[in-house]
Structure 1
Amino acid sequence: MITEEKNFAAWSKSVDDCVNELETDLQKGLTNSSVERRREIHGWNELEKEDGKPIWKLVLEQFNDTLVRILLLAAVVSFFLTYIDGQKNGDSGFTAYVEPLVILLILILNAVVGVWQENSAEKALEALKEMQSENAKVLRGGEFITDLPARELVPGDIVELRVGDKVPADMRIAYLKTSTLRVEQSSLTGESVAVLKSSHAVLKEDVELQGKECMLFAGTTIVNGCCVSIVISIGMATEIGKIQTQIQAASSEDTDTPLKKKLDEFGERLTTVIGIICLLVWLINYKYFLSWDFVGGWPTNIKFSFEKCTYYFEIAVALAVAAIPEGLPAVITTCLALGTRKMAQKNAIVRKLPSVETLGCTTIICSDKTGTLTTNQMSVTELICNGTSAGKGRNFYVEGTTYNPLDGGILNLPTGEIDENLQTVSKIAALCNDAGIVYKAHRFRATGMPTEAALKVLVEKLGIPDLQAQVKINLEREAMESSTDQKFIRLGCCDWWNDKLTRVASLEFDRNRKSMGVIVQSHEGKNELLVKGAVENVLERCSFLQLKDGSIVEVDNHVREIVIAKHNSMSSKALRCLGLAYKEALGEFSTYDGETHPAHKKLLDPANYASIESNLIFVGMVGLRDPPREEVKGAIDDCREAGIRVMVITGDNKNTAEAICHEIGVFYDGEDISQKSFTGKDFIALPVDERRKVLSGSGGCVFSRAEPRHKQEIVRMLKDADEVVAMTGDGVNDAPALKLADIGIAMGIAGTEVAKEAADMILADDNFSTIVSAVAEGRSIYDNMKAFIRFSLSLSLSKPTTTILVG
């Protein structure tokens, strides 16, 4: 029986149970007739998208304003009275209708500017979209279709996924074709590093997304390994689809912007005042159109002049029209439109005009961490190498926060030839590595594991021992750096190592030993094993240590304690640490040259990898992280000076989030954050009063492991407390909160399409500091509009006052 996912917790079922539930076959896949039948039930594998608003609706929305409606009513009444007066006096020329026509012209121009701005913003948004692959390798009728359009998938389809593939639907992993599988799912969960997946069922049905280790979710990317999976949910039934539903629910809660609320209040008060004044003016002149005689205390012989009554009514209407600042809507729209142009020049693309003013009223910025406050690009920040004797280490700090090999260097790196120990570090980082770096959409990006891509960047910064080759590489870099076309990128140092040594075997990463190894062969036929992995696990299998000059010494417990202490110190700074080691005495693998070698059968069983990776020589370790953007700390300081609180809401783990917040200045050094740092689950578990107390406190806060519903609840509670909330984010999981916030701000480069569509503003450079610049611009526009309203109102009210006095 084909079952919807809401009644089928596939992650808690065995693969056989899933196959039976979905009536599919891992060896043959679905038949064409079964596909057609399922498509009738489930539809196409695509998200529902709202149709764009027609022009006529956009035009009508421009008149959804109290002041504009008052002006429109005044113009209609003025036109009607002018027509009646013209009929009586025989004067129906064009000049008689100048006043109502001018008012109508102003309103029409206001509507045209508003519609033009919304359309141009949508075009700017379209320009940010990138083409993505929409095909999948699917098993149908016993044969694989390599390029089936992803929208044609149905539940029960068998799909093969490899490195670089984008997951086209929610799937249950059937089996791995490699020893490990890693998936980049930060766009959905907010995790900053790729996560390991397996085919083993999760015992609990009620588990968060991060805990569903046997599930692949639509929109995520395979960064390591290969697997065969069963499609469980498609379209709106996927996790992304559920978030889209939350976005639609959040859109129904949209409220007016602070500017619109204030203008509506102003319009209502102005209408009341003007109405009373005009009524008094009309009544004061009653003796001109209404008269009577008194006989016995009662009015008799009452005379009423309809002509004079309408004449003085026209005067009252004219006073009303004169008192209303008819240029106000046009000026406000023009100010906002000019503001959007200035913001676009600063990489902030505004989709809706009122968002410009809302930014100026912002009191709290709720920011995602990964990709907004940080670069969402793993980089090596610290390198620990061995010194001249056992137990003496050398610390090198690495500059740069991106995958650009030319971004920064290594501090206190000795000039000239790099020593033997640093050469080994470079060799392991270059060769025990499956990642690459490409230049795409004006940005350096990783292909494969982000941590491995960061290691390749480290190799480029370390350099190579061949001075002539290094000079040639440097010349190529200078040419690339000065070129306007940086699409050309060559990892010259990594290529040099690949030319010197050939990789003949891989010992893939697994959960038990937590390391990866490769056997490489030199041109002379000498083999060696290069290993990288978790520091504790690698160090446990090391018997020796390589010193600065390349000499080898034994490792004792004292040295191990020193290394572990340094590792703990790096971990406390939220660094992800990798240990590096190698081995030259390979025994039967010393002559290994491929699948025909007698020892090859041992490589087919991952259980043998730990014994092969024994008696290693420890070289050093590296600390990696997703670093904060350099300009963020200054932007946070600017927010504090402007009275804007910053709250970080992320799906990443608590320690990493707290470390980043300390570094960028959300928290002061030594500040007690026990009531300012919570996981999303822990925060929601607090009583409502406690939650309000946390949110109403001073300074910043951080919420980690936050799911979409947690983000929505935080934003909703802040709005209920009369805060003006700006929410930033780039992932699908951020979209509901982006829609609910007073102003949602999405990332233009790394942001998902769902997040962009939910947002009111797009950051073309994915930079938090751009938000601060936009807020400053919004405040300037807001102040200018307030000044104009005061001036316009005083000028407009002076007209009827003068008329009354003269009259």
Structure 2
Amino acid sequence: MGKGGQNYGKRENLGDDKEPKGDSYAAWSKDVRECEEKFQVRKAHGLSGDDVEKRRQMYGLNELEKHDGPSIMRLILDQFNDTLVRILLVAAVVSFVLAWYDGDEGGEMEITAFVEPLVIFLILIVNAIVGVWQENNAEKALDALKEIQSEHATVIREGKKVASLPAKELVPGDIVELRVGDKVPADMRVLSLISSTLRVEQGSLTGESEAVSKTTKAVSEDVDIQGKKCMVFAGTTVVNGICICLVTQTGMNTEIGKVHCQIHEASQSEDDTPLKKKLNEFGEVLTAIIGVICTLVWLINVKYFLSWEIVDGWPRNFKFSFEKCTYYFEIAVALAVAAIPEGLPAVITTCLALGTRKMAAKNALVRKLPSVETLGCTTVICSDKTGTLTTNQMAVSKLYAMSSKPYDVRSFDVQGTSYDPFDGKIQNWPGGQLDSNLQMIAKIAAICNDADVEKAGQEKSGHYVANGMPTEAALKVLVEKMGLANEIASGPSSGYDGVLRCSYAWNKLEQRIATLEFDRDRKSMGVIVNSCSGKRTLLVKGAVETLLDRSSFVQLLDGSVVHMDKEFKEVILKSLHQMSSSALRVLGFAYKDDLPEFATYNGDEDHPAHQLLLNPANYSSIESRLVFVGLAGLRDPPRKEVPEAIDDCRTSGIRVMVITGDNKETAEAICRDIGVFGRHENITSRSLTGKEFIELSSRDKQSHLSQSGGLLFSRAEPRHKQDIVRLLKESGEVVAMTGDGVNDAPALKLADIGIAMGIAGTEVAKEASDMVLADDNFSTIVAAVGEGRSIYNNMKAFISSGNGI
């Protein structure tokens, strides 16, 4: 065990008797100055060498505990902790001893007498080897968890910046600088933002489908992990911005350390599979029956080796033949051995192995043989949402543009569920006759955008992946589906062989010369472009409400501009509400032609306008008196095959429960789309957040979980998922759990069968699972369950017909 493990739970008294210990100190609920005072550190100076050494003595190294697994001898002995195996072992030993005894007694020792016990021994040895190999790989999830930890950090100590300090040497109170692409080395409180925004991808830990914007502002003490907007967590990744942070938790006390503990605890409480339980019951019954029969056979023949005379009513003159006694004992043992199905373990292993091949052909890769039959007994599937029920790829599903007359909007449904530009079309689309309003929407979506989409893999079997923010990648896919107007279709994009031909054409027509970065206050991003005519234009995209507040005009279908009044604003807000109520993330588009201060600006640092761009406080005034042009609704769409798979589950008597870290409204909308809930069903009693569920009494929890039909748990943390799985198992359900992130690993380990995603899944989730989906598709689980049921029924039929059960 490393130092981090040895000092788990210790806390340093930082000179304040009121200093809360361990997790009781909620750094996210304190302001920056108070956090610095509690940890006795200044942001500009950092810790001194003496401070670091003292704190390391108290906290240990910033690393996860190493749990010593069971010894090889313990694993070997565990393989014989099975009723049927013990019966076979006893029978083999007795058969071997009797065969040897017959040879020693002067009889001719025949090799054939040893065949049966040797075959049984061989079967048991092979069975034990397979079992030990499986068990020896069981703790790999903990090793994989360590792989996602950061190895280095940029730290400020004694007023100097130390680059590439080994992350394990961090202690609480250290000041750390994070940049784009950095992996967060410990749980930290954000002290200040160097860039205007900071975004962190923490979906693997929390289950959120979008990168999260971070702030320096304190939040409520009792918020869930997703609500801790001023905290960054170990193992997550910075995707945008630069910041200075204060280390608050290290090693096993980080959120990822808690997951580590939960995985270890779950691995210690693994239950027998349903088939093994039935085989143990069968073994116990078989033992009793064989014992009774053997005893009766031996007693029936007692007169042949034990005789006596009756004298005066009492037995006298006993005569005992040891040779005949052993002879009839051998007959009884032979009968017992004949009754024992010594080929059963081999047949079961063979059936399961063949089952894994069939499942592999259906994209379900089985890591542990017993999982095959467990699938066949599954009664509840607890599924993650993002990446399993949905594509984990943002896509535009609705587009609103302005009409030819004021106070009217046009609505377009956008098909497609991936980053593939050829996946689906826009319904009722005018094609090459794009009007001015639609062209402006396409221009803004293409140019006011830093993402890219490319094809990965083989030409035929490859898939499209996004580089950059998923929402921006989805907008570029929308531009491709919108196409180009006839007058520009054959110009700028000629010779381009990439995926985003239309976006490329727009960026050639309009040269981008400045960027107004997104920030959390104005909630928008803008770019200044220089068109081929030499005119400067500001293109803006962002939150619809903030754009409307800064818009003075509206562009109509033909490109004409009219004044934005209260009535027009209400029409646009109504469209926004319609999309928001369907759990869509909505972005608005606007532009501005009147830019006198940038009329001659070309990106030159000596130009007076350049000074305006250096201060983000000026961005709101630059993005004023905008012309509003339209809005788009985006979401992580459900997979096409999922509704049918959900219906198959319902027909097969399997309940589906969705457990996700995403927000409640988005999760409910997806569940309605895929058929977990009806379109207009009242789901008040079926949809709870993880926190709401945990606050229920034990009786109410069981009552909630026992409801027929589907259930939804949103904003769920790792401990919530574990509690749900544990309670379901305690009520007699056979639980299959799906997941792809670090936050899913404890529940994957605890479930009767854990199912990880092969494409989007983390190594932690894969190693904690019993099965991996090669295509990350929920419908594959349903197909695998069907295959598992077939295999399970075949094995039961074999046991029943072959052994009279």
Q: What TM-score, normalized by structure 1, do the two folds share?
A: 0.90
SS at 1:340 equivalent = helix
Task: Rate the CA distance shift 1:776–1:704 in 2: closer, same or farther, 3 A.
Answer: same
Match of 1:660 among 670, 694, 705: 670
How many Å apart are 1:50 and its aligned residue? 4.5
Question: What aligned pairs does 1:305-320 form with structure 2 within 5 A after superposition?
Answer: 305-320=321-336
Q: Partners in 1 of 2:34 and 2:644 — Cα distance?
A: 54
User: What's the counterpart of residue 699 of structure 2?
Assistant: 689
Asked if the contact 2:455–2:499 (Cα under 8 Å) also holds between the matched residues in 1, the reply is no
User: What's the counterpart of residue 9 of structure 2?
Assistant: none
Question: What aligned pairs does 1:124-523 form with structure 2 within 5 A after superposition?
Answer: 134-140=151-157, 142-202=159-219, 204-437=220-453, 444-465=464-485, 490-523=499-532
Task: Rate the CA distance shift 1:151–1:743 in 2: closer, same or farther, 3 A.
Answer: same
Q: Partners in 1 of 2:699 and 2:490 — Cα distance?
A: 63
Structure 1: state its 5+ residue gaps. 478-488, 798-807
Q: Partners in 2 of 1:766 and 1:520 — Cα distance?
A: 41
How many Å apart are 1:468 and its aligned residue? 7.3
SS at 2:388 equivalent = helix
Tell me the amino acid that sits aligned with residue 630 of structure 2: G
Question: What aligned pairs does 1:717-796 form with structure 2 within 5 A after superposition?
Answer: 717-794=727-804
SS at 1:566 equivalent = helix
CA deviation map 1:305-347 (0-9, x unaligned)? 1111111111111101100111001111111122222222322
Asked if the contact 2:492–2:508 (Cα under 8 Å) also holds between the matched residues in 1, the reply is no
How many Å apart are 1:82 and its aligned residue? 1.3
Q: Partners in 2 of 1:268 and 1:283 — Cα distance?
A: 23
How many Å apart are 1:173 and its aligned residue? 0.9
SS at 2:210 equivalent = coil
Q: Bigger CA drift: 349-358 or 56-65?
A: 56-65
Q: Partners in 1 of 2:484 and 2:163 — Cα distance?
A: 41
CA deviation map 1:240-271 (0-9, x unaligned)? 11121122223333221111111100100011
Q: Partners in 2 of 1:599 and 1:72 — Cα distance?
A: 88
User: What's the counterpart of residue 527 of structure 1?
Assistant: 536
How many Å apart are 1:37 and its aligned residue? 5.2
Task: Rate the CA distance shift 1:685–1:116 in 2: closer, same or farther, 3 A.
Answer: closer
Asked if the contact 2:419–2:466 (Cα under 8 Å) also holds between the matched residues in 1, the reply is yes
**Structure 1 residue 84 corresponds to structure 2 residue 104:** no
Task: Rate the CA distance shift 1:115–1:418 in 2: closer, same or farther, 3 A.
Answer: farther
Q: Partners in 1 of 2:490 and 2:373 — Cα distance?
A: 54
Q: Bigger CA drift: 353-362 or 522-531?
A: 522-531
How many Å apart are 1:214 and its aligned residue? 0.9
Asked if the contact 1:224–1:448 (Cα under 8 Å) also holds between the matched residues in 2, the reply is no
SS at 2:685 equivalent = coil
Task: Rate the CA distance shift 1:104–1:420 in 2: closer, same or farther, 3 A.
Answer: same
User: What's the counterpart of residue 805 of structure 1?
Assistant: none
Q: Bigger CA drift: 682-691 or 624-633?
A: 682-691
Q: Partners in 1 of 2:609 and 2:485 — Cα distance?
A: 33
Task: Rate the CA distance shift 1:177–1:76 in 2: closer, same or farther, 3 A.
Answer: same
SS at 1:369 equivalent = coil
SS at 1:110 equivalent = helix
Question: What aligned pairs does 1:606-617 form with structure 2 within 5 A after superposition?
Answer: 606-617=616-627
Identity %: 65
Asked if the contact 2:443–2:506 (Cα under 8 Å) also holds between the matched residues in 1, the reply is yes
Q: Partners in 2 of 1:330 and 1:296 — Cα distance?
A: 59
How many Å apart are 1:76 and its aligned residue? 0.3
Task: Rate the CA distance shift 1:109–1:254 in 2: closer, same or farther, 3 A.
Answer: closer
Q: Bigger CA drift: 262-271 or 104-113?
A: 104-113
Question: What aligned pairs does 1:40-51 form with structure 2 within 5 A after superposition?
Answer: 40-50=57-67
User: What's the counterpart of residue 573 of structure 1?
Assistant: 582
Tell me the amino acid that sits aligned with residue 774 of structure 2: A
Asked if the contact 2:544–2:587 (Cα under 8 Å) also holds between the matched residues in 1, the reply is yes
SS at 1:646 equivalent = strand
Q: Bigger CA drift: 608-617 or 5-14?
A: 5-14
Q: Partners in 2 of 1:456 and 1:150 — Cα distance?
A: 38
Q: Partners in 2 of 1:755 and 1:641 — Cα distance?
A: 29
Structure 2: state its 5+ residue gaps. 1-11, 15-20
Task: Rate the CA distance shift 1:206–1:768 in 2: closer, same or farther, 3 A.
Answer: same
CA deviation map 1:397-453 (0-9, x unaligned)? 222222233433333322225332222112111222233345668754434322122
Task: Rate the CA distance shift 1:62–1:225 in 2: closer, same or farther, 3 A.
Answer: same
**Structure 1 residue 631 corresponds to structure 2 residue 648:** no
Asked if the contact 1:128–1:748 (Cα under 8 Å) also holds between the matched residues in 2, the reply is no
Q: Partners in 1 of 2:326 and 2:628 — Cα distance?
A: 100
Task: Rate the CA distance shift 1:473–1:721 in 2: closer, same or farther, 3 A.
Answer: farther
Q: Bigger CA drift: 44-53 or 655-664?
A: 44-53
User: What's the counterpart of residue 687 of structure 2?
Assistant: 677
User: What's the counterpart of residue 649 of structure 1?
Assistant: 659
User: What's the counterpart of residue 26 of structure 2?
Assistant: 9
Asked if the contact 2:64–2:146 (Cα under 8 Å) also holds between the matched residues in 1, the reply is no
**Structure 1 residue 700 corresponds to structure 2 residue 710:** yes
How many Å apart are 1:5 and its aligned residue? 4.5
User: What's the counterpart of residue 562 of structure 1?
Assistant: 571
Asked if the contact 1:223–1:447 (Cα under 8 Å) also holds between the matched residues in 2, the reply is no
Q: Partners in 2 of 1:445 and 1:52 — Cα distance?
A: 39
How many Å apart are 1:224 and its aligned residue? 2.4
CA deviation map 1:3-40 (0-9, x unaligned)? 67425322223333333444445335455665555444
Task: Rate the CA distance shift 1:106–1:253 in 2: closer, same or farther, 3 A.
Answer: closer
Q: Partners in 2 of 1:299 and 1:527 — Cα distance?
A: 123
Q: Partners in 2 of 1:189 and 1:107 — Cα distance?
A: 44
Tell me the amino acid that sits aligned with residue 305 of structure 2: F
Q: Partners in 1 of 2:601 and 2:496 — Cα distance?
A: 36
SS at 1:559 equivalent = helix
Task: Rate the CA distance shift 1:124–1:538 in 2: closer, same or farther, 3 A.
Answer: closer
Asked if the contact 2:402–2:555 (Cα under 8 Å) also holds between the matched residues in 1, the reply is yes
Tell me the amino acid that sits aligned with residue 9 of structure 1: A
How many Å apart are 1:529 and its aligned residue? 1.0
Q: Partners in 1 of 2:703 and 2:47 — Cα distance?
A: 55
Match of 1:592 among 593, 601, 613: 601
**Structure 1 residue 95 corresponds to structure 2 residue 112:** yes
Q: Partners in 2 of 1:25 and 1:110 — Cα distance?
A: 61
CA deviation map 1:346-402 (0-9, x unaligned)? 222222221111111000111111221112221111111122222332222222222
Asked if the contact 1:528–1:590 (Cα under 8 Å) also holds between the matched residues in 2, the reply is no
How many Å apart are 1:732 and its aligned residue? 2.1
Q: Partners in 1 of 2:638 and 2:147 — Cα distance?
A: 25
Match of 2:562 among 553, 563, 572: 553
